[in-house]
Amino acid sequence: MLKTKKRYDCAAGCPVEVTLDLIDGKWKGVIVYHLLSGTLRFNEIRRKLPSATQRMLTRQLRELEECGLVLRTVYAQVPPRVDYALTEEGRSLEEIVRAMHAWGERRLERLAQVIQTAA
């Protein structure tokens, strides 16, 4: 189910705004990237993002859940178990997120070359 609280003034850049609005935030895109490989528990995500605080990670996951990109499944057991997985809508971001990953890798390589040249 698609959910949105925001209305967009659809000028020429509106589709970009819509996309960035969903994955905006320091960790949302990275969370989506890691969930592309499959369902993860909260602590598994936390280990993949060691510099994210628990509070921030919880908030970002809830926002991704609210907008329909992530499915949160709570299992009634002791200790409690919570799984996170991408919804079909979340999976539709795969091409975009993988392209961002590839671009970031190339950017890091260029930066390393600049640093190496300057040394």
Q: Residues 57-99: pLDDT tens digits? A: 999 999 999 999 999 999 999 888 999 999 999 999 999 999 9
pLDDT beyond 70 at 11 = no
Report the DSSP beta bridge partners of residue 86: 70
For residue 11, what is the DSSP state? -
Q: Residues 18-51: pLDDT tens digits? A: 888 888 888 999 999 999 999 999 999 999 999 9
- For residues 20 and 54, which has the higher predicted lDDT (pLDDT)? 54
- Domain ranges for the chain: 14-118
Contact (CB, 8 A) for 84 and 42: yes
Identify the architecture of domain 14-118 in CATH.
Answer: Orthogonal Bundle (1.10)
In this structure, the chain runs to a length of 119
